[in-house]
Amino acid sequence: MTQQHHLRAAGTSILIDTSDGDCRILHWGSDLGDETIDTAALVNAVPNSMFDQPVVASVIPQAARGWRGRPGLSGSRAGRGFSALLVLDGADQSSADQKSADQKSADQVGSSALTLHMIDAGGGLAVDVEYELDAGGLLLTRARLTNTGDDPYELENLSLTLPVPARASEGLDLTGRWAKEKQPQRHTIQQGTWLRSARHGRTGHDSTLVIAAGTQGFDFGTGEVWAVHLGWSGNHESMIEQLPDGETVLAVGELLAPGEVVLQPGDQYETPTVYAAYSPAGLDGISDQFYRWMRARPSHPKRPRPVVLNTWEAVYFRHDLDTLTSLADTAAALGVERFVLDDGWFLGRRSDNAGLGDWFVDPDVWPNGLTPLIDHVRGAGMEFGLWVEPEMVNLDSRLAREHPDWVSGPGGRSSLEWRRQHVLDLVNEDAWNYIFNRLDALLSENDIAYLKWDQNRDQVELGHAGRASTHAQTAAVYRLFDAVRAAHPNVEIESCSSGGARVDLGILARTDRVWASDTNDALERQTIQRWTELVVPPELVGAHVGPGHSHTTGRTHDLSFRAITALFGHFGIEWDVREASESERGELASAIAFYKQHRTLLHGGRMVRVDYPDAAAQAHGVVSQDRSEAVFSYATLAASRFEIPPRLRLPGLDDARLYRVSLGLPLAASATLGYGQPPWLASGTVASGRVLGELGLPMPLLRPEQALVLTVTAQ
């Protein structure tokens, strides 16, 4: 009997064969249509010196089925039961009839969701694996393990595995560090394991947003790509593995410490959700699927994303009512809509040495509480936002002095300090309740619309009661976010973690944007935002105009370069704008007006990145879903080796329509863009989508680290 399950949506198919008690993904990629696949014709030859039957990766690869790579499930009962043999015990599909067929005519069933139930009866294990193919083609999968045996089962690893075909010969993942997150790295896939481990107790600055494989030379607009993301904010691993027989898989899962998950009889462990996208047309197609899925979530922000002013790089810890009210006035006059008071407002917090944990407004700095500032901000027509870092504690705090046992650690000794801070053990219910009550009180007593929720350290030895607790801590943190949101449903939350060290769909399930990086240097931001937005749509990626002289790199940039860079995210300012010159304020106000005019497009359209032939420049655009309008940015990152920049193609438009293309920013083109301008730029041009997409338009001779924005409107 051949039994197959076929999920299809938006050009993607996943075909799972469950004929002989095993469960194998025969295909994940382009749509197979209604055609019946004779799997007998796909059975491999058996090579020399090998098992006597062909070996193909199971959905949970197992040594018991001949898999010689990393197993998808590992664990034991004090050493026994170390190798599971999982056998299908039933499958559920959410729609369509499921019929069985004989070996010659395999039965294929269209459906959007499938759960496979597998058991190892002798080993006392049951595993359910769920697959859900979203209408846009994004595949969501997760697994649940139940200990059906009589004694404890110590889990080492349960990961999700997806096969890719041999033509996926090039790998891509991201790495990074503080202030330089999401840097791409590419490599040829060869035999062996390419493993990215993240052991930070949080997602991590260097954590890869996706592990991807594609056809040789795939880029934003070309090539087939398979990409997998793990929605989890704790320790995790992502890998590409190729075996000697050529079988190649992508696998992701939580990374567990010894003894961290011990399942008592009847207990369950559930993996985080894995998100998997296939695109026949490059990385932009991967983004399409993530954006579409994210934007369809009921919790996705609906109203226009307000222009933010964050006080951090403007005043740091120098909190003073007069300074902050005058900053608020200047911001409001520029068109700012949300004013966020960053670190420094709570007890003892005059520097980053002390105070974390004592979430009470400091009367030394705020003798009348935050109300005078909040009233002023509200009176100026803006929302008020506040910075918090609830998961952390300084040893120099009332909290740590009163509850030293609430500080997480390996047991018996403390772990290393990081920014003079430690992690609060939120697995401890008392600590969790204290923090929830403080946040609840702050939000109840003050008119706060927004929290910037920070998390500023790695913790490689998270422990509760002497046992590793990253898994439990991550779950407790999620529960804290969920409880705060349930109690204050109108408060938006930003996830910040020393910049972009906690960017994943686990945290984004309970927050409204991420802070992509602590660098506001626009040159760095061009790359960081481009790659963060591979998965996270721009409306959820905080992007601020920093001071002209960057605080993180010392580089100096024109305001237009800074503003145009921030435009392709959730736009804000992080600069003492009282110091800006009159003309800079005018230019900033124009950029804000431009953002407001175009934010529906920027935050709802399709992101396209131009595969530009000159590495010294970078371009991307957002095209409205009906392709009637678009906004493109062209930015120089370095001095070009070309005398004249290559023409800029504008992908994603409708070939058959005519569009007017005009310079959107900077407004004062002749003043800022210099002498070398192509004639069309002065008054714009009209051309078809085909011409714009194939031939492109000549670009002006910008100096390094300059940018312009083009607006594109159908005629």
Active site residues: 454, 518
CA distances from residue 12 to 134, 181, 280, 294, 687 in whole angstroms, order as listed: 10, 31, 9, 18, 33
Give the contact letters, 31-70, x = binds to ligand GLA (CB under 6 A), - = no. ----------------------------------------
Tell me the residue nearest to ligand GLA as measured from the CB.
343
* 456 makes contact with ligand GLA (CB under 6 A): yes
Residues 239-278 binding ligand GLA (CB under 6 A) are: none
# residues contacting ligand GLA (CB under 6 A): 12
Residues 377-396 binding ligand GLA (CB under 6 A) are: 387
CA distances from residue 643 to 300, 669, 670, 700, 701 in whole angstroms, order as listed: 45, 20, 20, 11, 8
Binding residue for ligand GLA (CB under 6 A) from 89, 352, 611, 654?
Answer: 352
Our CB check for ligand GLA shows the closer of 515 and 561 to be 515
Alpha carbons within 13 angstroms on the beta-carbon side of residue 410 total: 9
Our CB check for ligand GLA shows the closer of 207 and 672 to be 207
* 343 makes contact with ligand GLA (CB under 6 A): yes
Our CB check for ligand GLA shows the closer of 454 and 458 to be 454
Burial of 310 by CB count in 10 Å (0-12 exposed, 13-18 middle, 19+ buried)? buried
338 has which bridge partners? 308, 383
Q: How far apart are CA 89 and CA 345, in angstroms?
A: 57
Q: Tokens 């998390």 belong to which residue?
A: 455
Find the shortest distance in angstroms from Cβ 458 to ligand GLA: 13
* 576 makes contact with ligand GLA (CB under 6 A): no
Closest to 87 (Cα-Cα) out of 54, 112, 113, 62: 62
Our CB check for ligand GLA shows the closer of 524 and 587 to be 524
Alpha carbons within 13 angstroms on the beta-carbon side of residue 7 total: 25
* 449 makes contact with ligand GLA (CB under 6 A): no
Find the shortest distance in angstroms from Cβ 499 to ligand GLA: 5
Our CB check for ligand GLA shows the closer of 351 and 368 to be 351
* 342 makes contact with ligand GLA (CB under 6 A): yes
Find the shortest distance in angstroms from Cβ 343 to ligand GLA: 3
Give the contact letters, 491-520, x = binds to ligand GLA (CB under 6 A), - = no. -----x-xx---------------x--x--
Q: How far apart are CA 517 and CA 552, in angstroms?
A: 11
Give the contact letters, 271-310, x = binds to ligand GLA (CB under 6 A), - = no. ----------------------------------------
* 312 makes contact with ligand GLA (CB under 6 A): yes
Find the shortest distance in angstroms from Cβ 189 to ligand GLA: 35
- Between 429-445 and 470-487, two packed helices, what is the crossing angle to 10 degrees? 30
Find the shortest distance in angstroms from Cβ 688 to ligand GLA: 45
Q: How far apart are CA 561 and CA 670, in angstroms?
A: 15
On whether the CB atoms of residues 665 and 587 are closer than 8 A, the answer is no
Buried b (16+ CB within 10 A) or exposed e, 675-697: eebeeebeeebebbbebbbeebb
Our CB check for ligand GLA shows the closer of 387 and 571 to be 387
Find the shortest distance in angstroms from Cβ 64 to ligand GLA: 47
Find the shortest distance in angstroms from Cβ 471 to ligand GLA: 25
Alpha carbons within 13 angstroms on the beta-carbon side of residue 45 total: 3
CA distances from residue 281 to 276, 284, 529, 603, 626 in whole angstroms, order as listed: 15, 7, 21, 22, 19
Q: Distance from first CA to last CA of the chain, Å, rounded? A: 59
Find the shortest distance in angstroms from Cβ 349 to ligand GLA: 9
Our CB check for ligand GLA shows the closer of 130 and 512 to be 512
Give the contact letters, 1-30, x = binds to ligand GLA (CB under 6 A), - = no. ------------------------------
Burial of 47 by CB count in 10 Å (0-12 exposed, 13-18 middle, 19+ buried)? exposed
Our CB check for ligand GLA shows the closer of 134 and 454 to be 454
Buried b (16+ CB within 10 A) or exposed e, 330-339: bbbebbbbbb
Q: Name the region of 73 (left: φ>0; alpha: ψ -120 to 50; beta: rest).
A: beta
Bridge-based pairing of strands 707-714 and 658-665 is: antiparallel
* 348 makes contact with ligand GLA (CB under 6 A): no
On whether the CB atoms of residues 250 and 57 are closer than 8 A, the answer is no
Our CB check for ligand GLA shows the closer of 17 and 521 to be 521
Q: Which is it for the CA torsion 21, 26, 30, 31, positive or negative?
A: negative
Binding residue for ligand GLA (CB under 6 A) from 134, 454, 458, 492?
Answer: 454
Our CB check for ligand GLA shows the closer of 220 and 384 to be 384
211 has which bridge partners? 228
Find the shortest distance in angstroms from Cβ 387 to ligand GLA: 6
Q: H-helix or E-strand containing 710?
A: strand 707-714
Find the shortest distance in angstroms from Cβ 203 to ligand GLA: 14
Residues that bind ligand GLA (CB under 6 A): 312, 342-343, 352, 387, 454, 456, 496, 498-499, 515, 518
